[in-house]
């Protein structure tokens, strides 16, 4: 059975195909994952949720993981490969730079990084 967007199906799940304007990552529930998650907790428009085997970090519009800030908190050099090691999943457009990783909820916001051409609709 299919359902109309915004309605509840017989399974009890609702369907909403509109943009959530959110992006996020799932981090490993380990020492480095905790440090990164704790750094993100105090940031504006960021929600961190702890689960037994993972940590979710979700943001409105964009998330920026600053490697210098993370390196300082961890006490050792932290970079893209370290971030990928503790991240298991993500949603949104992800852009890796030398000094940070940025996730965008909308591809238009990431256009300058991902060669996304904004084409006007007639």
Q: Of 120, 106, 40, 43, nearest to 95 (Cα)?
A: 106
Angle between helices 67-74 and 31-41 (to 10 degrees): 120
Rounded to the nearest 10°, the torsion over CA 105, 40, 102, 67 is -170
pLDDT in tens, the chain (122 residues): 444 555 555 677 888 888 789 999 999 999 999 999 999 998 999 999 999 999 999 999 999 999 999 999 999 999 999 999 999 999 999 999 999 999 999 988 888 888 766 666 66
């Amino acid at each position: 059975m299919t359902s109309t967007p915004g309605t509840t199906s017989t399974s009890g799940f609702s369907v909403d195909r509109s943009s959530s304007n959110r992006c996020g990552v799932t981090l490993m529930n380990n020492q480095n994952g905790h440090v990164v998650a704790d750094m993100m907790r105090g940031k504006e428009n960021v929600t961190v949720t702890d689960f037994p085997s993972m940590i979710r970090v979700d943001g409105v519009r964009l998330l920026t993981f600053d490697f210098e800030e993370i390196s300082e908190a961890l006490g050792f050099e932290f970079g893209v490969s370290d971030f990928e090691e503790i991240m298991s999943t993500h949603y949104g457009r992800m852009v890796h730079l030398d000094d940070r990783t940025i996730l965008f909820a909308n591809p238009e916001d990431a256009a300058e990084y991902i060669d996304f051409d904004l084409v006007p609709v007639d």
